[in-house]
Structure 1
Amino acid sequence: MEKNSPIYRDYVEILKRELVPAMGCTEPIAIAYCAAKARAVLGCLPDKVIVAASGNIIKNVKSVIVPNTGGRKGIEAAAAIGIVAGDEEAGLEVIARAKEEDKAKLADYLSRTAINVELALTENVLDIHVQVSNGEDTAEVHIVNEHTNIVRIVRNGEILLAKEIVNVVDDGKPDYEFLTIKDIYDFAMTCDLNDVREILDRQIAYNTAIAAEGLKNDYGANIGKTLLKAYGHDVRIRARAKAAAGSDARMGGCELPVVINSGSGNQGMTVSLPVIEYAGEVGADRETLYRALLLSNLVTLHEKEGIGRLSAYCGAISAGVGAGAGIAFLCGGDYKMIVHTIVNALAITSGIVCDGAKASCAAKIAAAVDAGILGFEMYRNGQQFYDGEGLVRKGVENTIRNISRLGRIGMKETDKEIISMMIGK
């Protein structure tokens, strides 16, 4: 791929936008960010807070531990830590550098402050609206579509910011429609690694560190440890265990940051940690690892673009498919093998539902990575799924389109039922 082509520039920009650090599960962190921004606009500590959030935000915050909160879960904890200890200029790292003296104020603030949570009446899947007040002063901040995309800021009735809510968040957003498996492969094989080295080095360092933490200490259901204890230390098990252990720690409130993919830390770990583990196993050099990570990250972003940021379709499945593509390349696979790995893997686990961020995400990640590896091993052993078998269609893009339709349209009612059950309706 020509370095000066629009597609090349867009691919680099997509990686820069998507592979960013975040501390804690991204949905509660988005609430913390929105609340921190609202507090800053208000100019003082609010004594009343209202958080209105879309159903997918509620389900992804309900059961996950929020970092720096002393093990607390839920929207109230996320909003409160953003208010008392958040840096409103830090985006998804809003509470990453919270001071101990500020964190110490959390329990008292929660005990004396009314924080009301409401289900937002919205068609937007990702929608957070925080209203705060102190005496006669009020402020509100509204986030839509992406975790840090503020579309409205109001103080004492004066509109300080108002952006049109559209599918494309801003004019500078690269064109994700350029993403195809053929072009992703071409880009990964020819990319000037100096353009992406810093991004990928950060992904390797951050995500490896949290996986090690998950295997070392007690988090969640300890899926990573369980895999190694039950099944041994073959690379296929280690690849699943590392990704699961990172999720164990992240869902368990670990305060280490991760580099995300498609707005999700779990997806960021799933696309990278199995690939890193396989690279060590096969003795791949750093350049080869970079190219494998380019494949895994961009394949996942391509799948997720059609499904959407949040849905009833478990995002770890898309990331496991991406990891399978990266692993296929590390094991000597060419374009044809990578294509068949993607199709096989999609056929194996598509349909696993997302019922919010929580400890069991680590187990779903293990299953997703297993499917990615099996998709590769199938084709390496002369086996594949064929056109017309279920959702599989001839041509990798056609299969991806079917899966996108399933997640975005077919599972819309499923998503509503999941949310209703989780909030007790």
Structure 2
Amino acid sequence: MEKTDIKYKSYVQILKEELVPAMGCTEPIAIAYASAKAREVLGSLPERVVVYASANIIKNVKSVVVPNTNSLKGIEAAAAAGIIAGNSEKRLEVLSTVTEKEKTIIKAYLEKNLIKVNLANNQFIFYIEVNVYYKDSYAVVRIANHHTNIVYIEKDKKVLFEKEAEVLKEGLTDKKLLNVEDIIDFANTVAIEDVSEVIRRQIEYNSKISEEGLKNSYGANIGKVLLSNNDNNVKTRAKAKAAAGSDARMSGCELPVVIVSGSGNQGMTASLPVIEYAKELQVSEEKLYRALVLSNLITIHQKTGIGRLSAYCGAVSAGCGSGAAIAYLHGGGYKEIAHTIVNALAIVSGIICDGAKASCAAKIAAAVDAGILGYNMYQSGQEFYGGDGIVTKGVEETIANIGRLAKDGMGQTDKEIINIMIGEKK
């Protein structure tokens, strides 16, 4: 692929937009970001706060620890942290500079019960609105479609900022240009200097939090369980490294990660198994970078048809991405990679997303296992064929089927998951 090609420029830009640092699970961090911005606009510590959030935001924030809060959970905690100690200029690292004193203040502010949370009544799957009040003054900040996409700011009946927020549109580089064949071409030909900054940061950040997850106790310690109950082979290590990063992150570890498709879990799943296989195979740094470009873009390509949030577990897409990159590290081309993706999707596309929490680490391990098994199947001359369930002839057609399943077919599933999580009875 030539540098002058529109796809080349778009693929580079997609990587720069998607592979960004975040500290903590991205949905509570997005709430903290909106809350920090709202307080800045208000100019005073709010006496009252009202948060409106879409159902999927509520689902993803309910059970995950907000970083730098001494293990507080939930939307109220995320909003309080953003209001008291957030720095909106740091975007998805909005809570990275919280002091010990501020952690105490956050808890005290939260205990005053000044924050009310409501379900947003609109069509947006990804929506956050924070309203803050002090005496006769108020401010409103709205985010739609992705984590840092502020679409509206108002203070005291004056609109300070507004941009169009269409349902299902992100306002980012068009990802419909992505396809498996071109992604492989791009991974093979991209000038490393065009992607080195984002890929180097992904390796550094995600490796560090994975090491932390294996060193200390977090969540259900899935990474440690894998290493203690299996042979210490590369397949086990690949799963364990990705799971350990999630163990730490879902339990409030304050180390940042580089996300993919708006998700730290997906960012770790798409990168850490690939890094582990690159070490095992002793490939060059350049080959590792190209493999990570492939894994990230394959993950993003699958997620394009699914959307940022759904009832479909995003780790599945990233596990397929890492499986494809592992095939690439072994010298695989389009045929090997396409079969790996289809095989993996046939295995684990039934995993649901029921919010961010400790069990995400185990789902990541399963997704990575499927990605690797998908490639192992091809090596052994085995494959799933078109007509086998949701698998159809061709990798792009199968990916499209997954998008249809996740976005259209699992809409009601998503509603039931949320009802179960909030305790609503039939």
TM-score tier after normalising by the smaller chain length? over 0.9
- SS of the residue aligned with 2:253? coil
Q: Superposition pairs for residues 280-291 of structure 1, below 5 Å?
A: 280-291=279-290
* Aligned residue in 2 for 1:409: 408
Asked if residue 70 in structure 1 is aligned to residue 70 in structure 2, the reply is yes
Report the alpha carbon displacement of residue 351 of structure 1 after superposing the two structures with TM: 1.4
- SS of the residue aligned with 1:104? helix
* Aligned residue in 2 for 1:235: 234
CA distance, structure 2, for counterparts of residue 225 and residue 232 of structure 1: 12
Amino acid of the residue matched to residue 351 of structure 1?
A: G
- SS of the residue aligned with 1:187? helix
Deviations 1:208-247 (A, max 9, x none): 0000000000100000000000112110000000000000
Report the alpha carbon displacement of residue 102 of structure 1 after superposing the two structures with TM: 2.4
CA distance, structure 1, for counterparts of residue 409 and residue 170 of structure 2: 25
CA distance, structure 1, for counterparts of residue 86 and residue 417 of structure 2: 31
* Aligned residue in 2 for 1:191: 190
* Aligned residue in 2 for 1:116: 116
- SS of the residue aligned with 2:111? helix
* Aligned residue in 2 for 1:368: 367
Amino acid of the residue matched to residue 278 of structure 2?
A: A
Report the alpha carbon displacement of residue 113 of structure 1 after superposing the two structures with TM: 4.6
CA distance, structure 2, for counterparts of residue 233 and residue 44 of structure 1: 55
Amino acid of the residue matched to residue 17 of structure 1?
A: E
CA distance, structure 1, for counterparts of residue 87 and residue 129 of structure 2: 18
Deviations 1:267-298 (A, max 9, x none): 00000000000000000110000011011000
* Aligned residue in 2 for 1:19: 19
CA distance, structure 1, for counterparts of residue 114 and residue 45 of structure 2: 12
Structure 1 contact 132–140 (Cα < 8 Å) conserved: yes
CA distance, structure 2, for counterparts of residue 337 and residue 111 of structure 1: 56
CA distance, structure 2, for counterparts of residue 67 and residue 271 of structure 1: 22
Q: Superposition pairs for residues 198-217 of structure 1, below 5 Å?
A: 198-217=197-216
CA distance, structure 2, for counterparts of residue 238 and residue 177 of structure 1: 34
* Aligned residue in 2 for 1:104: 104
- SS of the residue aligned with 2:262? coil
Report the alpha carbon displacement of residue 106 of structure 1 after superposing the two structures with TM: 1.1
Structure 1 contact 47–113 (Cα < 8 Å) conserved: no
The runs of 5 or more residues in structure 1 that have no matched partner are: none
Deviations 1:292-351 (A, max 9, x none): 101100000000000000000000000000000000011121221011001100100001
- SS of the residue aligned with 2:89? coil
CA distance, structure 2, for counterparts of residue 64 and residue 279 of structure 1: 31
Show structure 1 runs of 4+ deviating over 6 A: none
Report the alpha carbon displacement of residue 96 of structure 1 after superposing the two structures with TM: 1.1
- SS of the residue aligned with 1:90? helix
Deviations 1:195-220 (A, max 9, x none): 00010000000000000000000100
Q: Superposition pairs for residues 122-271 of structure 1, below 5 Å?
A: 122-166=122-166, 167-170=168-171, 173-271=172-270
Report the alpha carbon displacement of residue 109 of structure 1 after superposing the two structures with TM: 1.3
CA distance, structure 2, for counterparts of residue 294 and residue 338 of structure 1: 14
- SS of the residue aligned with 2:355? coil
Greater shift in the superposed pair: 302-311 or 102-111: 102-111
The runs of 5 or more residues in structure 2 that have no matched partner are: none
CA distance, structure 2, for counterparts of residue 389 and residue 168 of structure 1: 32
Q: What's the RMSD between the two structures over aligned residues? A: 0.9
Report the alpha carbon displacement of residue 251 of structure 1 after superposing the two structures with TM: 0.2
Report the alpha carbon displacement of residue 193 of structure 1 after superposing the two structures with TM: 0.4
Asked if residue 60 in structure 1 is aligned to residue 57 in structure 2, the reply is no
Q: Name the TM-score, length of structure 1 as normaliser.
A: 0.98
Structure 2 contact 64–250 (Cα < 8 Å) conserved: yes
Q: Name the TM-score, length of structure 2 as normaliser.
A: 0.98
Structure 2 contact 141–150 (Cα < 8 Å) conserved: yes
